[in-house]
Structure 1
Amino acid sequence: MKLLRSRRTASDRALQRRLVRQAASLLLAYPDEGHGARLDTVEQLLEHVTGPEKDVLRAAARALGEPNLLSVAQQYVETFDLRRRSTMYLTYWTAGDTRNRGAEMHAFASAYRAAGAEPPAHESPDHLPVVLEFAANVDAAAGEELLTRYRVALDVLHASLRDAGSPYAGVVAAVCTTLPPVTGQDEERARRLAQAGPPRESIGLQPFTLTVPPRADRTGPRQGAPQS
Structure 2
Amino acid sequence: MPSDAVLYQAAALCLTRPDDGLLARLPLLREAAPQVREFADHAAVTPAAELRAQWERVFGPRPGLYLSRWAGADGAADDGSLARYARAYRAHGLEFAGDEPPDFLPAVLELAARTGETGLLTDHRAGLEGLRARLTALGTPYASVLDAVCAALPLPRPTPPPSRRPPP
TM-score of the two chains, using structure 1 as the length reference: 0.63
1:73 equivalent in structure 2: 52
Size of the aligned set, in residue pairs, is: 156
Of 138, 154, 157, the residue aligned with 1:164 is: 138
Aligned residues of 1:27 and 1:39 also touching (Cα < 8 A): no
1:107 equivalent in structure 2: 84
Matched to 1:17, the amino acid is D
1:124 Cα offset (Å): 1.5
Q: Structure 1 runs of 4+ off > 4 angstroms?
A: none
Cα distance in 2 for residues equivalent to 1:169 and 1:67 = 17
Structure 2 portions without partners, runs of 5+:
158-168
Of 62, 66, 72, the residue aligned with 2:41 is: 62
Percent identity between the aligned chains? 35
Aligned residues of 2:8 and 2:110 also touching (Cα < 8 A): yes
Cα distance in 1 for residues equivalent to 2:25 and 2:106 = 13
Structure 1 portions without partners, runs of 5+:
1-12, 47-53, 184-228
Structure 1 residues 67 and 94: CA distance shift in structure 2, 3 A: closer
Of 37-46 and 107-116, more deviation after overlay is shown by 37-46
Cα distance in 1 for residues equivalent to 2:59 and 2:81 = 20
Provide Cα deviations, 1:59-91, integer angstroms capped at 9, x if missing partner: 111012234111000000000013x46x11001
Alignment of 1:106-145 (within 5 A): 106-137=83-114, 139-140=115-116, 142=117, 144-145=118-119
Of 146, 151, 162, the residue aligned with 1:177 is: 151
RMSD: 2.1
1:123 Cα offset (Å): 2.1
Residue 34 of structure 1 aligns to a residue whose secondary structure is helix
Provide Cα deviations, 1:28-66, integer angstroms capped at 9, x if missing partner: 1111222212323313423xxxxxxx2x41111101223
Aligned residues of 1:27 and 1:38 also touching (Cα < 8 A): no
1:146 Cα offset (Å): 0.5
Cα distance in 2 for residues equivalent to 1:180 and 1:33 = 32
Aligned residues of 1:90 and 1:128 also touching (Cα < 8 A): yes
